Structure 1
């Protein structure tokens, strides 16, 4: 520094060129600066002179030159995989200084970086790969592995380059659109080396081999080839996505190769396996394709295109095989829920699941008709139908996702085969099934009909009573029976048999639950109306009135002093119009019982004038106190059994012959044989037959089994029940047919009274419509009933029409 005085104000000359990083303060400057204000001398003038030698390099030029050299050394180190000779912070500052000086233009700093990177990629890095993959021959997987390895190394190099050139990348090139950033430039260069430029229409041999190698890897996975490399496929897909060639180059080729594989797969499996194996293989294929796309980061469009292509080739083009009635029937027969679920999903994904409705309904009609027409197993008809219905409901629930199409198809198919045969006994058998259920409860049902855990969960979610409760389960089974009842056109047949069985349950006290009986009656009333259940309700009312009548009779006995009698009589009074008709069987009653009956008969006639009581002894039962050597027992027996047992009270030798018993009871031979067989040859042998044997003969004699013993005090002695004969059932059907004729005539009169005049075809159609709920009537039968009404002068013919006569 040199100073030269000028007048009173000395001047200072300061050389500030020694360091490019300098700072100066103004007047009154602060610490570390140059103060230009001196209070005792006043302000001074500062003159700055350039002391550089002309043409000599300055320290600034040397700094930037050194920075460029350091950046070149750093690039060489990065490309060689070595640590940079200078700290990254210093390299970053150097790039920043160069950019601030104006050397960040694409043709300067950025351009040199691109040239070095391009030279490295085309030379050192890809030399070995280009040598291996530059021709069509060679190991494609090895070529792919080399390219993926180069991309992995290059990606790591790009990270370091972005650190060094961060200022250039983020603060300079960002503002120089459309200049590429460091990362975009690096990706573009790698893509250009392997797959060619974006504008290039052809893919280089190396790129083509890479694409085919990736497709080949997927093929290895599809065919379970041991050469499949999980890590290589994942890295290859990520590389293709990162390079931006996934959608334009890879996806198109991959979908084309996949199409060929799906065609080959479908052709092979459709020829060499059945429907179940084909469904399983197709479902497994679709699952694996979806899982592979998710696991190896394939694009969502690829996954969608793969699935649509596979579904079209495997499902739509082979729909005839998938919807083959015989093959579907085999799966349904085997209750193969998993295969049917897979089949339904295959069809639903292609939008053709409704095509399964045809085979579904055909199977139901064929199977159901076979059950209904199987006369050898007619007794199991309803259980088998309910098991069929149960299996189909489970199929709809678990396989068809509760699709309403199949629910409606199920109902249509059941309605068709149940009423297909005019001689169908579904109504009769359903009434007997309901009788079995109301008598024995759930223990009479096979386990296949009971609710499972899924049913219980659905019941709890819907807010109804859980089927784990026995009453709720019984109610559900009654509902299942009503599901079949809804399909029956001949409901009058069901009514006749149900009425007969209900009467037996009420009179014999055989109902498992009175609540269930009432509940079933309510269901029938809701289903068919009050007219259908009128007689059934009257039967329950008769039971209640009978109890009230007996209570009044007991009070009358107490009032007249006749209460203390050896026989306690209980009478059920039935209205003949509501209850079934029962045959009258002659029997000689004991004197005490006969007196009680006459007393009640006289009492009832005084209370209800004009009424006549007809005693039905075959329906009666009794409790008899018997004394054996091991103690007394109460025997629950029928009236005929009680009449026989009482005879031994007066037997002098305690032995009675068959002829003596027949004369004393007056029972018909068939009833006497059944009664003696139940007492002497059954499980509870109250009498001893001489000689021993299972059959009762007129030469047999009988005595009281004094050694009889049973752990229970009250012992039920079952009467041998007569099996329902064909004649009995035929008689019931005849009564139903007769009632149906009267109902048909009533419907004709009712229609004609409302219409006055009708053509024959219209009248027949209207009669069928009004009577189909009770039972199907043939047009020929309607015509016969029309003729009968013409004879009775209800209607007449006039000009080809029927006219109602008031």
Structure 2
């Protein structure tokens, strides 16, 4: 049995009844919901109108798929024109937005139901013709007929509400989320072009006005609090109703208007800017400043520059204080300076760690600042010498470490090594430190062997094994020297004939490890010669391949002085002891006789006699009857009437200028280091331009010292004369290596 043919007019009239009912339901009018029979009837009507076959002998087409597709679109267009647009266009601001959302919700429900009624078209007709789906048709109708008409009006209303919220008023965030959802569903390009671009622009204008007001009225910390709160609220705005893709653009414009545009004015505020915050230790405000500027390209540059300048000025103030203290001859100003610099480093390293989140930029600023004042001299003393003296004071007996715990000393040594990293002349520090280490070791002045080894370990880690190799050798030498001394004492016990009758301690050192000391041709008195010969005899039993060179300037002697009132033990140098022992055989001697017997120079003997006759302890007295000022005609007598309340006294020698010798030794070593670096570079490169050779040489040596460019040029010329290098015949600024 064939189905009844449904004509287009009849079928559409029935469908319109169903569409009308749907509209009434959407508008909230009293209307019962679709029953399953009604739904099936509507669906079947469309199905039949699309699948019915023509009657015999009837050429009229009965497949109305195309016409129904057009009428589907027409139903939406009619509904929008008669119901949707009129209901939206007569409302404004928030009310208009609510109506827009309401109509959008209804429209999507209408698409859902009509798509079901016309579902056959989606399954067969639309795919064959490659047409937009029913859902797309419905969406396009809303976009073309509603969205394009009202989006500008909606955008203005949204921006108005956002500004209201920024001013502290309560708004319906859910409403904005729903409205902006319409923009997004129309396509992200529509959201960006029709809403986001204008909203971001308006936001920039809003915060530009705010910034102009706040920068005049508020202190730097207050301004930053407001900026921080504004950024936080803008991020919340994105979370609650803006699309997540808007966050980057919105935050950038707010940062630009609040932070970048007024950066200099804000950071340099007279009574509350960055320098003031650093001066007053406003850690919380500095942390806020960092967090605000850290995500802005080069935003932290001015902050790090001010940080660097502030540290530099504080460091230079400490240097000036030390200069003033030195000028007024205050004792221990060097120790005070180093302690204060370490405290300064601790303070601002904590800023880098806590306020500036260990950002490399601030580590660099701290380093550059400390390099400025850590390389300043104080009262003619280089920073390298001052730091070496500070270490000496910490590590020697009776120094600054007596009241410190082992942990505190270790912590201080750690700080010393950190400071050394900022000093250019590390080789100069090494030489001064080595000199002082030698005195501590040789004269038993080191407070603790463990601390000595600890700082060497730290220095090795910081500057490399070559830096500490000689110092480590010195410490090892002392251990071997103690074993040698024990062996010597055992030797004397077994060979009583060889015993010189005087207690003798000898420290055997390895020449390459220790600082260079001047060895003189001092002619020892016979009593002291016996001691030397006794040890030589012992040492010959141990090795035949090593030669002993005696450094009398490092020796110490304990002599019993027999004075009229009481005997006193005198602690003197080997040279002083040699002079005094001469007076065992003669109570009165001339300057010339002493010089001849001891084979000393005028300079050496002058210092010795001055220490024994003109200082605090006058063991010798100059004959007052001497008529001439000539040294050679002066006579000295043993002062038998000398006395002192102490039973043991140390007679110091006038200090010699060690500093000059250390600097000269380091300058000499630097020449060799520059030569070696130049040859090493040229050996690997064969041909190199002058500028590049100099820069590579500076880079290679900068770990130990900052070489002077003029010195490098001199060494290049010297290497040319010694046939290590030659100039290129065509370009004199190019050098060639000569194998």
* Smaller-chain TM-score bracket: 0.5 to 0.7
Match of 1:257 in 2: 202
Cα distance, 1:172 vs structure 2: 2.7
Q: Structure 1 CA distance, aligned partners of 2:352 and 2:127? A: 61
Q: Structure 2 CA distance, aligned partners of 1:775 and 1:125? A: 81
Match of 2:432 in 1: 496
Residue 500 of structure 1 contacts residue 580 of structure 1 at CA under 8 Å; is this kept in 2? no
Mark the CA change 1:608 to 1:142 in structure 2 (over 3 Å): closer, same or farther: same
Matches within 5 A, 1:110-129: 110-124=69-83, 127-129=86-88
Q: 1:226 aligns with which of 169, 175, 198?
A: 169
Match of 1:182 in 2: 134
Q: Structure 2 CA distance, aligned partners of 1:529 and 1:426? A: 18
Residue 43 of structure 2 contacts residue 118 of structure 2 at CA under 8 Å; is this kept in 1? yes
Residue 394 of structure 2 contacts residue 401 of structure 2 at CA under 8 Å; is this kept in 1? yes
Q: 1:571 aligns with which of 505, 509, 515?
A: 505
Matches within 5 A, 1:366-765: 366-375=313-322, 378-393=334-349, 406-421=362-377, 423=380, 426-435=383-392, 444=404, 477=415, 479-485=417-423, 487-488=424-425, 492=428, 495-496=431-432, 499-500=435-436, 503-504=439-440, 507-513=444-450, 515-516=453-454, 518-519=456-457, 522=460, 526=464, 536=471, 539-540=474-475, 542-560=477-495, 571=505, 573=507, 578=514, 603-604=534-535, 606-607=537-538, 663=567, 665=569, 731=655, 734-737=657-660, 739-740=662-663
Q: Structure 2 CA distance, aligned partners of 1:436 and 1:304? A: 57
Mark the CA change 1:418 to 1:543 in structure 2 (over 3 Å): closer, same or farther: same
Residue 84 of structure 2 contacts residue 103 of structure 2 at CA under 8 Å; is this kept in 1? yes
Farther off after superposition, 236-245 or 70-79 = 70-79
Residue 337 of structure 1 contacts residue 395 of structure 1 at CA under 8 Å; is this kept in 2? no
Matched residue of 1:373: which SS? helix
Match of 2:91 in 1: 132
Cα distance, 1:238 vs structure 2: 0.4
Matched residue of 1:226: which SS? coil
Q: Structure 2 CA distance, aligned partners of 1:402 and 1:64? A: 77
Q: Structure 1 CA distance, aligned partners of 2:122 and 2:673? A: 98
Q: Structure 2 CA distance, aligned partners of 1:749 and 1:184? A: 84
Q: Does 1:100 align with 2:51?
A: yes
Cα distance, 1:267 vs structure 2: 1.3
Cα distance, 1:288 vs structure 2: 3.7
Residue 435 of structure 2 contacts residue 515 of structure 2 at CA under 8 Å; is this kept in 1? yes
Q: Structure 1 CA distance, aligned partners of 2:459 and 2:197? A: 69
Mark the CA change 1:248 to 1:176 in structure 2 (over 3 Å): closer, same or farther: farther
Residue 435 of structure 1 contacts residue 498 of structure 1 at CA under 8 Å; is this kept in 2? no
Residue 396 of structure 1 contacts residue 402 of structure 1 at CA under 8 Å; is this kept in 2? yes
Q: Structure 2 CA distance, aligned partners of 1:442 and 1:221? A: 66
Cα distance, 1:155 vs structure 2: 2.5
Q: Structure 2 CA distance, aligned partners of 1:671 and 1:62? A: 135
Cα distance, 1:547 vs structure 2: 1.5
Q: Structure 1 CA distance, aligned partners of 2:386 and 2:165? A: 58
Deviations along 1:16-38, whole A, 9 cap, x unmatched?
Answer: 45xx28xxxxxxxxxxxxxxxxx
Mark the CA change 1:67 to 1:435 in structure 2 (over 3 Å): closer, same or farther: farther
Deviations along 1:520-563, whole A, 9 cap, x unmatched?
Answer: 57469848758xx75x5664354134213222123224424799
Mark the CA change 1:131 to 1:523 in structure 2 (over 3 Å): closer, same or farther: closer
Mark the CA change 1:412 to 1:492 in structure 2 (over 3 Å): closer, same or farther: same
Matched residue of 1:431: which SS? helix
Residue 428 of structure 1 contacts residue 494 of structure 1 at CA under 8 Å; is this kept in 2? no
Q: Does 1:236 align with 2:194?
A: no
Matched residue of 1:367: which SS? helix
Match of 2:159 in 1: 215
Mark the CA change 1:526 to 1:214 in structure 2 (over 3 Å): closer, same or farther: same
Matched residue of 1:132: which SS? coil
Deviations along 1:18-64, whole A, 9 cap, x unmatched?
Answer: xx28xxxxxxxxxxxxxxxxxxxxxxxxxxxxxxxxxxxx7999995
Matched residue of 1:350: which SS? coil
Cα distance, 1:237 vs structure 2: 0.9
Q: Structure 2 CA distance, aligned partners of 1:261 and 1:557? A: 97
Residue 50 of structure 2 contacts residue 63 of structure 2 at CA under 8 Å; is this kept in 1? yes
Matches within 5 A, 1:224-303: 225-244=168-187, 245-298=190-243, 300=245, 302-303=246-247
Q: Structure 2 CA distance, aligned partners of 1:525 and 1:168? A: 82
Q: Does 1:166 align with 2:124?
A: no
The answer for unaligned runs of 5 or more in structure 2 is: 53-61, 326-332, 519-526, 541-547, 572-611, 618-642, 676-693, 711-739
Mark the CA change 1:776 to 1:126 in structure 2 (over 3 Å): closer, same or farther: closer
Residue 511 of structure 1 contacts residue 517 of structure 1 at CA under 8 Å; is this kept in 2? no
Q: Structure 1 CA distance, aligned partners of 2:554 and 2:381? A: 33
Residue 221 of structure 2 contacts residue 285 of structure 2 at CA under 8 Å; is this kept in 1? no
Residue 78 of structure 1 contacts residue 84 of structure 1 at CA under 8 Å; is this kept in 2? yes
Matched residue of 1:510: which SS? coil
Residue 312 of structure 2 contacts residue 369 of structure 2 at CA under 8 Å; is this kept in 1? yes
Match of 2:110 in 1: 157
Residue 331 of structure 1 contacts residue 340 of structure 1 at CA under 8 Å; is this kept in 2? no
Cα distance, 1:123 vs structure 2: 4.0
Deviations along 1:561-580, whole A, 9 cap, x unmatched?
Answer: 799xxx99783526699579
Q: Structure 1 CA distance, aligned partners of 2:448 and 2:438? A: 9
Deviations along 1:385-418, whole A, 9 cap, x unmatched?
Answer: 3343445555556666766555555444333323
Matched residue of 1:374: which SS? helix
Deviations along 1:729-787, whole A, 9 cap, x unmatched?
Answer: xx57x4313554677699999999xxxxxxxxxxxx9xxx999978999x9xxxxxxxx
Q: Structure 2 CA distance, aligned partners of 1:576 and 1:329? A: 54
Mark the CA change 1:144 to 1:380 in structure 2 (over 3 Å): closer, same or farther: farther
Q: Does 1:363 align with 2:319?
A: no
Q: Structure 2 CA distance, aligned partners of 1:720 and 1:407? A: 52
Match of 1:328 in 2: 274
Cα distance, 1:261 vs structure 2: 0.9
Residue 335 of structure 1 contacts residue 391 of structure 1 at CA under 8 Å; is this kept in 2? no
Matches within 5 A, 1:28-47: none
Farther off after superposition, 94-103 or 360-369 = 94-103
Q: Structure 2 CA distance, aligned partners of 1:606 and 1:559? A: 13
Mark the CA change 1:483 to 1:337 in structure 2 (over 3 Å): closer, same or farther: farther
Cα distance, 1:263 vs structure 2: 0.8
The answer for unaligned runs of 5 or more in structure 1 is: 1-15, 22-57, 134-139, 197-202, 451-469, 583-594, 621-638, 645-658, 673-697, 703-718, 753-764, 780-806
Q: Structure 2 CA distance, aligned partners of 1:219 and 1:391? A: 44
Mark the CA change 1:556 to 1:573 in structure 2 (over 3 Å): closer, same or farther: same
Cα distance, 1:502 vs structure 2: 5.3
Q: Which TM-score applies when normalising by structure 1?
A: 0.56
Q: 2:68 aligns with which of 109, 123, 142?
A: 109
Match of 2:606 in 1: none
